[in-house]
Amino acid sequence: MRFPAGAFNSKSALLVLLWISSLVAISVRGDGYPLSEQDFVVTLDDKNFEHETQASTGQTTGSWLIWFHRRKDDSRIVGNPPDEEFWAEHHTIVGAVDVSRSELTKVRFQIRKAPALLYIHKGKVYRYPKEDKYPFSWDTIKRFVAEEYVNVDAEDVPEPRTFLDEAIAFVKQCVEEGGTYFRLLGQVFAVLFVAAVVNQLFFVDRSKAKKTNKKQN
């Protein structure tokens, strides 16, 4: 097949390139894009989480769908998010927590692996199940928020944690999980103490013996 001479010029080539670029952008968007970068998402952290969500004090701000992620590059959900009408209909606000910067919130909600999705609704926590039936896609997330959240176990909203809580928990964990270690460490110190005492007594006895020998000579 031959094209007429002059059918393609620099302007036509530019239009083709722009068209290809738009297709690439659409395909990338369809494969998912960082949720935490979207305008409708509220950024949450240890400092503002309870104030914004009121998770343990009645949730007068409404329900919250919260995305726990570790970096922007792993906070991707396939497809296009619902429009404002969907969120308004279900009185739901979307939030995102970077667990690498919000350790207290991560521990509070027992987020063992990110990304994870929680739906806090009417004083209860519903964990989005990460199974084949529930991939991280907006279609399944919409169904989960709209009706299927009742199919998972409801959990009570945990109380906010403080640094004092973390310190106490750390000490308790050390005692419970490191019992053998601490006993071994105690035995080592005991042996060193006994060795130090024996050495001191032996040193004293040798000193007395030297003094006695000098007097006899």
pLDDT in tens, 140-195: 999 999 999 999 999 999 988 776 766 665 566 566 666 665 666 666 667 677 66
Residue with the bigger pLDDT between 80 and 31: it is 80
pLDDT in tens, 105-154: 999 999 998 889 999 999 999 999 987 677 888 999 999 999 999 999 99
Q: How far apart are CA 187 and CA 213, in angstroms?
A: 39
How far, in whole angstroms, is CA 208 from its chain's centroid? 67
| CATH architecture assignment, domain 33-160 | 3-Layer(aba) Sandwich (3.40)
* Extents of the domains making up the chain: 33-160, 178-216
What pLDDT is attached to residue 70? 87
Q: What is the pTM of this model?
A: 0.62
The bridge status of strand 41-44 relative to strand 92-98 is parallel
